[in-house]
Amino acid sequence: MIYHPTADKVTDLTIAYIGGGSRGWAWTFMTDLSMEASLGGTIRLYDINEDAARRNEIIGNHLTARPDTLGDWNYTTCSSLEDALTGADFVVISILPGTFDEMESDVHVPERLGIYQSVGDTAGPGGIIRALRTIPMFVEIAEAIKNFCPHAWVINYTNPMTLCVKTLYHVFPQIKAFGCCHEVFGTQKVLKGICEQTFGLEQLHRRDIEVNVLGINHFTWFDQASYKGIDLFPVYRKFIEEHFEDGYHDPDRNWMNSTFNCAHRVKFDLFNRFGLIAAAGDRHLAEFMPGREYLSDPDTVKSWKFGLTTVAWRKEDLKRRLARSERLAKQEEEIKLAPTGEEGILLMKALCGLGRIVSNVNIPNTSLQIPNLPAAAVVETNAVFGRDSIKPVAAGALPEKVLSLMTPHTDNHERVLKAALTFDRSLIYEAFSHDPLVEGRAKDSDIRQLADDMITNTLPYLPKEWR
């Protein structure tokens, strides 16, 4: 890495992108890199689908050659983890553990017991089984980082976020890894919109909303939120009093027109019940709560104005993205250079010494950012990013009622990690039984059978000891 102090620029960076054949996130990453003039170097793309990575190599290098591109990057495909990682300054992990066929089992097989999941990649039976096939992949990645680039900063975007980061640190405790998630940004945008409506303001940025973040990934909360010294909790409370039934509607994102959108009514309800601002999308938040509350059946989901993301939709979307990949590689379509709203590149700049930034990240609770969660837990709080350092913010303790909602999940993280490393099926039965979506919804024998069937459906991606 070469730093040019007079130009405030870092060149000759090496970034290893694990999952570099992505037909979505990779293009987001490329877009942000292309718009950043202060960074440059080499992007090594590694993917088990090497053809997909090579296509992104073509797309990335064409993007670099465009006259409107500011970032100077060379994209190259690697055939092995070792080639991708050796000497890397940054490692970006964005993989799909398995295929959408396995995800179809994760999400939809539990429906036979009346257990509905709106995402199925973090909590619930789907999140548990997805973790079971993801953890061995992250064991391999962590060992490779330890061997080939032990001083690199590692940025994870893969779900289940908490267990991915937890695995990296379990295998390589000295790793410099953190997990990035944009769910908090969405809630800042809601608060921004409410501010604009309440005070007649225009063109606020979500970063204008200062928040204290505490919780675990996809089950994060704000216990403080302000705009230029104005406490936003009374503003939020009044908005909810006036709009609880209708919800909050982003003018560009009607919940009925997209599988990923919501009217934020689950957030509003959680605020009324617990006094904190729940800071993730409603689809994620609902999965951390008892199954009879927001996800008891499709009609209940609809009444809360969010949706169940079907895997059939994801499969159709993949077809569209494959077609777009073909067009981009043939230069029949161009990537639009516009800010994506992600912060990964800003965090990299700060770690390179080009400024400081505060952002929410997923890291171990070893500094006890949240003192009433275990030190072994991976938590999501704010942290200060500077040159080669991340300083986590002491977020404070969770209120007891919110802590009681979180504890089943942090306990399950321990069970699932141990189960994945020791091939202990009984721990998976325990994790299923203690998950709030499942608990009390079926007989123990039916829950064990569900776990067995879901494990069988994902066996091709599990170590041989599970067979």
Specify whether the backbone of 98 is left (phi greater than 0), alpha (psi in -120 to 50) or beta.
Answer: left
What residues contact 7, with CB distance under 8 A and at least 6 apart? none
C-beta separation of 171 from 331 below 8 A: no
- The runs of H, that is alpha helices, within 149-210 are 161-171, 183-199
- The Cα 53–Cα 300 span in angstroms is 41
DSSP H/E element including 285: helix 282-288
- The Cα 345–Cα 13 span in angstroms is 12
- CA quadruple 203, 206, 208, 210: dihedral, nearest 10: 160
Question: Backbone phi, then psi, for 435, in 5-degree steps?
Answer: -70, 130
From first to last of its 467 residues, the chain has per-residue pLDDT tens of 654 554 588 989 999 999 988 888 899 999 999 999 999 999 999 999 999 999 999 999 999 999 999 999 999 999 999 999 999 999 999 999 999 999 999 999 999 999 999 999 999 999 999 999 999 999 999 999 999 999 999 999 999 999 999 999 999 999 999 999 999 999 999 999 999 999 999 989 999 999 999 999 999 999 999 999 999 999 999 999 999 999 998 765 554 446 678 999 999 999 999 999 999 999 999 999 999 999 999 999 999 999 998 888 889 988 999 999 999 999 999 999 998 888 999 999 999 999 999 999 999 999 899 999 999 999 999 999 999 999 999 999 999 999 999 999 999 999 999 999 999 999 999 999 999 999 999 999 999 999 999 999 999 999 999 98
First vs last Cα of the chain: how many Å apart?
45
| Closest alpha carbon to 159 in 351, 460, 355, 380 | 380
If you compute the radius of gyration of the chain from its CA atoms, what whole number of angstroms results?
A: 22
| Closest alpha carbon to 93 in 138, 61, 130, 35 | 138
Catalytic residue among 182, 243, 249, 434: 182
Which pTM does this prediction carry? 0.95
Q: Give residue 383's identity as a one-letter amino acid code.
A: A
DSSP H/E element including 390: strand 389-392
- The Cα 237–Cα 271 span in angstroms is 8
- CA quadruple 146, 150, 156, 158: dihedral, nearest 10: -20
Helix (H, G, I), strand (E, B) or coil at 205: coil
| Closest alpha carbon to 378 in 390, 368, 361, 365 | 365
Q: Is 409 a catalytic residue?
A: no
pLDDT score of 6 = 47
Count the Cβ atoms, other than its own, within 10 Å of residue 24: 14
